Each structure stands twice: as structure tokens, then as C-alpha cells.
A and B are shown apart, each in its own frame.
Chain A
Amino acid sequence: MKRFIPLVVFTLAAMPLLAGDIHGKVVAHGVRNSADAVVYVAAIAGKTFPAPAAHAKVDQKNMQFVPHVLAILEGTTVDFHNSDALLHNVFSPDACADRFNLGTWPQGQVKSFTFKKECFASLLCKVHPEMEGFVAVLPTPWFAVTPADGSYEIRDVPNGAYTLKVWHPTLKAAQKSVTVSGPTEANFEIAK
């Protein structure tokens, strides 16, 4: 038995080497910049992932949802803060987010909602109709949200073949097949 111990240690040590990073750039046409695109590994048949215990956070600050786009794994609970000296409300008109409405609350209070299934949920505030945010509820833990330059990196994706998708609040979604084997590059161009 002891002779297998080095083999187990070696295998465990080598495991990160069997995973790769997916990186690249999303070029968004027809909008001011390439921010807020969500790049993610699509659902893998027969595979589910446990929801994280830690809550994600969306703040309402300066009458904006911060971040504008939040990406989470299915089952994640999101805490909605209010940092403004104003009343705010959070609701979603989307059925996939159970059309939740958390009511209206003042500065400093927090309300939470658990997003149970894959969804691209719009966040709205009834008090301030111009406010808008998004929660991308995803089936795998491998995702990234692009900054203004459109770059992204998804780390520690196990080697294998996947469908990589990109979603954007106002542009058409896109997807492509990727085979991860070490560092893998995948670029997208999206438009209306």
C-alpha cells in the first residue's frame, strides 16, 4: 500500500496541470465599449455544482446598481445593499428569477434573494425607473465579466471540450466550441 502513496501525491500535485485558463477578448459593436459581456462555460450534461455558501453583493450607490452586471452560479444568494440616502427598491420582471420584488428599504439595510436557476435577470428599481442592473445566473462556476476593453480570463477550467457562451445586456448572444488543454484563447465579436 505504501508504495502507492508517492503515486497519489504525484497525481494530486499534477491535478492543476490538467486544468487550463480560457482567455480572450470580446469585441462589442454598436455600444460605447466592450464592458459587461458575460463569458461562461455552458451547462455540462449530467454535471451540477454546489452553490457557494458565501453571498454575492449588489449595491445601490449613486442611484446605480453596482456592479452593473453580476455573474453568479445557480443557487447563489445575493445581498442587495442600499448605500444611498434615498429609498430604493429591487425587483425583477423576469420569470426565471420568480419576478421577485424585495420591497423598498432605506440606506444601510440589506435584503437578499437566492437565484435558483439559470437566468439573465434584469434588476429594476420602482422608485428610480432609470436604474438597471443584471444578474447572470450561470450553470457552471467558470465565468467572467468583461471590463471596458473586453478582455477576460476564466481560470482553472478542467481540460476538456466545452461550449463557451457570451451574453451581453443589449447585444446578441454568441457561442463557440472550445477544447481546453492548458491556456486556451477564444475571442468573440458581438453586435445587435
Chain B
Amino acid sequence: MRTLGRKVAWLSILTGSMLVFLNVPSASAIPAFARIHKTSCQTCHTGFPKLNPFGEAFRLLGYRMPGEMQPETKPQSLGAEAYKKMWPKAIYPSDIPAYAPLAMNIKMASVYDSSVGDAGHEVTHNDFQFPQEVNLFAGGTMGDHISFFSELTHAENSDGSSDTEIEHAQLHFNSLFGHGHWINFKIGKIAPDLEDGFQEMWLSTDNGIDTMFTFNPIGLHGGTGLSEEMAGISLPSMVKGVEMYGIGAHRFFYTVGVVNGLTPANVSSTKDFYARADYKFGGMGLDGDTTGVTLPPENWRERSLRIGVLGYHGSGKGADFPMEDENGATFNVQDRNFDRAGIYASWYYDDLNVFGVAMSGRDRLDTFTADGVLANSDSHRFTTWFLQSDYVILPPLQASLRYESLTPPRSAEVRSLRTLNASLSYFIYANVKAMVEYRRDLRESKNYSLNTILRFAF
């Protein structure tokens, strides 16, 4: 069985390698922002989707080039500039991209994974997920102060089912007061800037940071381990709400947000809150400022340190999570309130970027009997951290290595997690990426995956 598993794994690698070296048709088109600004993906990405310092500035400025450069592609005016003098006797002027600012991302994955089944045997899966995921993006600016970003994702699962989800639908209001970047707002379904730099959409790896985003702390004894999906319990990867963020003195960044939490709106009207603040030493300013800084021509390189703190406070009061104890009795567990506090750091040294988060979580869990009687109320703590190194070996060849650790509450009947994730990406073109990624559970040698991924955007 093991021999067969190895053969299948090698077949998977071989197939992936063939995909890498296949003559992929030339990308005749490039994604929305690249088209609007008539520039390459590499202007903003070290290798998509990971942003380089310039790309980070472009994003934080509401998809505008630092230095207020006009887009190369002239937008369609919805009112001449001089109509500002007429307001409110005329609608305030703005513009939209001259054509539909759409882009697509398609991901093919050859997935080989191994896990321990119920009987203690190794269970393997080998699946050509062609495609695994298709994303339709739209993004651009409208006038001086508004920008937008949306993403519709269709995913095909290995069991034959599929899901379609709006992952992002957001409107940004930029630099509302004066020309600085101190005060900006986002509204909609967003990846919160609380997770700027380590949420899945900004990672060079294909696997997300599960210990940070999918640990489920809700259980009869303080947690049930990793959940199948990004459950939004440990840290939510997507939120619906309003976020205020800004940049001060080119290098200070803050964000605060008010978002829907775990509890359905028809059960409770409570909201969750989050905040983050950090500072960048050296390198390009967060708004793209380069005053007094000499940067190398290779735009993924710089020498800088960004360091900060983040926190999240949420309430799951009223949201029942049904549980069953070892005797078969049923209970409902509510995460009455929970807090997350962490530190973030990102260090660039030329071709190397090392970044990580260390976070502590506290959950006040209320356990109710099936009759609705409060049976128990306890606070539980877990800690988690990760460290990832991204290295540009050559511009088309980039490597990532990540170590993740999670220590659940002592009372929880789940093991601590130690995970290693390694990937090697080869950029056939700036918009076509092939990747081999290996993930291993360091506590259980039979838990691992080896995926070969081909991803392209246009």
C-alpha cells in the first residue's frame, strides 16, 4: 500500500512537472490593474499574489499609483473636473475604468494527500483538480476618492460538489480629508487589514496558515482542532463590515474595524471589533514614499522591518454549536466572548522576506444542556505562531518555508499542532505560475500533502 502510495506520489510530481514545462499558450491579456496602468504584474507582485513594497503601497492607496500618477489608460469621465465647482448644483464628478476592469485567475491542482483514517490506517487521495478554483476579479478606481474590488470564486471539490462564493465585494473611500492618507474606509466583504501580509490572498504559498485561521476553539473542553474550512473563529479571514485605515508619516499604519461576528444577525446585534497598528523602518514608505531612501532596481528587494500589534474582540453569544459528549449527551456551546492579541513582524533583507505572527486567544465558552440550562462556563486559552521565509532565488524561481505551531487549551482533547510547509514556485510568465508544495504534520508522519499547482491569471 505504501509502495503504491509512493508511486502515485511520484506520478503526481511527474505530472506536475510536465505541466510546468508544457508550452503554455502565451498570455495575450493581463489582469485588470495591469491593463489599466499598462504595466506588468511584476510592478506590484514579487510573484503573484505576494505583493512587493510598491504593490502594498498601490493597494493601500486604493489601487492608485504612488505619486498620484494618472492611469495610463484614460478613464471614462462621468463628469468633468470643473463640475466640482458646481456641486451641489451638479452631481460631483468622477470617472470609471474605460472598459470593464475584469480579470480571471484559474488554478489547477494535482492534490496528493495522506492522513490517518478512523482505523488508524494511512488513507491517501490523489486527485486531479482541474480546475480547483476559478476567480473572477473586478477592481479599479472611481474618481479621486473611491475605489472598488470584488472577487467571485467558483471552487470544485474532490467529492464532485462545487461552491460559488463572493469572497470580496468592497468599496473603498480614500483620503477623504485632505490629500494625506490618514483616513480611508472600506465597506463590504473584505479580507481585513488586520491580516495584511499573512491572509491567504497575500501569501506566496498556496496553503493558507491553518493554525492562524482554521483552529476551532469551540468545544466541550476548549477546542476541536482544525476545521475543514476557514471557519472565522480563530481569526476570520473574511469579514462583512466597515474598516477604517490609514498611513501617517509614510511609515505608520493603523486599522480599526467593526464587523459581523459569529452570531447570526437575527439572533444578536452584537458586532466584533479589531485593530492593528504597525510601523515600517527602512525601505519604501507604506504609501510608496521614497524620500531619503535609495532602493535597488530590483523592486522586490529592500531592507526594512515592519513591526506591529493586532487585536480582535468578538462575541458569539447566541450562536449555538451543538456538541456531544462521550456518553452521547448533547450540549450547545456558545463562544460568549473571545479575544485575540498578537504581534506581527516582517523583515526584508534583499531577496529574503521573513515574517510571522504570534497570537494568543482567549475564549469564554458557555455550555448549555439540551434544555437550555447553563451547565458550565469557562475561559480557555490557546497560543499560536508561525514564521515564514520567502526567498527570491531568481526572479522566476521563488521558495517559501513556513513553520506553524498551535498549542490548544490544556483542557482540550486535541493535540498541539506543528506543521511544516515548503513550496517552490516557478513563474513561466509573470502571470503563469507553477508550484510544488509540501506540507507535513510534524506530530504525525502520516499526515502530509504534496500538491502540484498551475495557476494563471489574465
Q: Which residues of A contact B (CB under 8 A)?
A: 29-32, 93-94, 122-124, 129-132, 169-170, 192
Residues of B within 8 A of A129 (CB): 77-80, 83, 90-91, 93
CB atoms of B72 and A93 under 8 A apart: no
Instruction: With A129-B90, A129-B93 as known contacts, state yes or no: A30 contacts B81, CB within 8 Å.
Output: no
Alpha-carbon distance A93/B379, docked complex (angstroms): 65
CB atoms of B78 and A130 under 8 A apart: yes
CB atoms of A122 and B80 under 8 A apart: yes
- Would you give the shortest CB distance from B62 to chain A, in whole angstroms? 16
Query: Within 8 Å of chain A (Cβ to Cβ): is B15?
Result: no
Task: Give the contact stretch, choosing among B63-71, B117-125, B192-200, B322-330.
Answer: B63-71
Alpha-carbon distance A130/B68, docked complex (angstroms): 21
Q: Which of B192-249 contact A (CB under 8 A)?
A: none
- Would you give the shortest CB distance from B366 to chain A, in whole angstroms? 56
- Nearest to A95 among chain B residues (CB) is B85
Residues of A within 8 A of B82 (CB): 93, 122-124, 132
Name A30's contact: one of B67, B76, B86 (CB within 8 Å).
B67
Instruction: With A129-B80, A131-B80 as known contacts, state yes or no: A122 contacts B69, CB within 8 Å.
Output: no
Residues of A within 8 A of B69 (CB): 30
The 9 closest A-B pairs by CB, nearest first: A132-B80, A122-B82, A130-B77, A93-B85, A129-B79, A30-B68, A93-B86, A32-B70, A31-B70
Chain B, interface size: which category?
A: 20 to 34
Instruction: With A94-B85, A129-B90 as known contacts, state yes or no: A30 contacts B80, CB within 8 Å.
Output: no
Residues of B within 8 A of A123 (CB): 82
Residues of B within 8 A of A29 (CB): 67
Residues of B within 8 A of A122 (CB): 80-82, 85
CB atoms of B83 and A124 under 8 A apart: yes
9 interchain pairs, CB-CB under 8 A: A32-B74, A93-B86, A124-B83, A129-B79, A130-B78, A130-B79, A131-B80, A132-B80, A132-B81
- Nearest to B90 among chain A residues (CB) is A129
- Nearest to B80 among chain A residues (CB) is A132
Residues of A within 8 A of B77 (CB): 129-130, 132
Instruction: With A32-B72, A93-B86, A129-B93 as known contacts, state yes or no: A124 contacts B80, CB within 8 Å.
Output: yes
Alpha-carbon distance A124/B83, docked complex (angstroms): 8
CB atoms of B85 and A130 under 8 A apart: no
Q: Which residues of B contact A (CB under 8 A)?
A: 67-70, 72, 74, 76-83, 85-86, 90-91, 93, 179
Task: Count A-B pairs with CB separation below 8 Å.
Answer: 45
- Nearest to B79 among chain A residues (CB) is A129
| Chain B interface helix/strand/loop/mixed | loop
- Would you give the shortest CB distance from A52 to chain B, in whole angstroms? 26
Alpha-carbon distance A175/B298, docked complex (angstroms): 37
Residues of B within 8 A of A32 (CB): 70, 72, 74
- Nearest to B87 among chain A residues (CB) is A93
- Nearest to B179 among chain A residues (CB) is A192
CB atoms of A130 and B67 under 8 A apart: no
- Nearest to B68 among chain A residues (CB) is A30
Residues of A within 8 A of B93 (CB): 129
Alpha-carbon distance A122/B70, docked complex (angstroms): 20
Alpha-carbon distance A31/B93, docked complex (angstroms): 18
Alpha-carbon distance A7/B81, docked complex (angstroms): 56
Residues of B within 8 A of A94 (CB): 85
Alpha-carbon distance A30/B67, docked complex (angstroms): 6
Alpha-carbon distance A130/B76, docked complex (angstroms): 8
Instruction: With A129-B90, A129-B93 as known contacts, state yes or no: A169 contacts B68, CB within 8 Å.
Output: no
- Would you give the shortest CB distance from A113 to chain B, in whole angstroms? 16
Residues of A within 8 A of B86 (CB): 93, 124
- Would you give the shortest CB distance from B2 to chain A, in whole angstroms? 63
Residues of A within 8 A of B78 (CB): 129-130
- Residue among A29, A122, A123 with max Cβ neighbours from chain B (10 Å): A122
Alpha-carbon distance A69/B387, docked complex (angstroms): 56
Alpha-carbon distance A138/B409, docked complex (angstroms): 77
- Nearest to A123 among chain B residues (CB) is B82
CB atoms of B81 and A130 under 8 A apart: no
Alpha-carbon distance A31/B179, docked complex (angstroms): 16
Alpha-carbon distance A104/B10, docked complex (angstroms): 75
Known: A124-B86, A131-B80. 5 other contacts (CB 8 A): A124-B83, A129-B78, A129-B91, A130-B78, A192-B68
Alpha-carbon distance A132/B83, docked complex (angstroms): 9
Residues of B within 8 A of A169 (CB): 81
- Would you give the shortest CB distance from B292 to chain A, in whole angstroms? 18
- Residue among A30, A31, A93, A170 with max Cβ neighbours from chain B (10 Å): A93
Alpha-carbon distance A31/B70, docked complex (angstroms): 5
Residues of A within 8 A of B70 (CB): 30-32
Residues of B within 8 A of A30 (CB): 67-70
Alpha-carbon distance A130/B81, docked complex (angstroms): 8
Residues of A within 8 A of B179 (CB): 192
Alpha-carbon distance A32/B90, docked complex (angstroms): 27
Alpha-carbon distance A83/B81, docked complex (angstroms): 23
Alpha-carbon distance A101/B426, docked complex (angstroms): 61
Alpha-carbon distance A131/B82, docked complex (angstroms): 10
Alpha-carbon distance A170/B79, docked complex (angstroms): 15
Alpha-carbon distance A32/B70, docked complex (angstroms): 6
- Residue among A32, A129, A132 with max Cβ neighbours from chain B (10 Å): A129
Residues of A within 8 A of B81 (CB): 122, 132, 169-170
Residues of B within 8 A of A93 (CB): 82-83, 85-86
CB atoms of A130 and B72 under 8 A apart: no
Alpha-carbon distance A93/B79, docked complex (angstroms): 14
Residues of A within 8 A of B90 (CB): 129
Residues of A within 8 A of B80 (CB): 122, 124, 129-132
- Would you give the shortest CB distance from A102 to chain B, in whole angstroms? 16
Residues of A within 8 A of B67 (CB): 29-30
Alpha-carbon distance A94/B82, docked complex (angstroms): 9
Alpha-carbon distance A169/B76, docked complex (angstroms): 18
- Would you give the shortest CB distance from B419 to chain A, in whole angstroms? 46
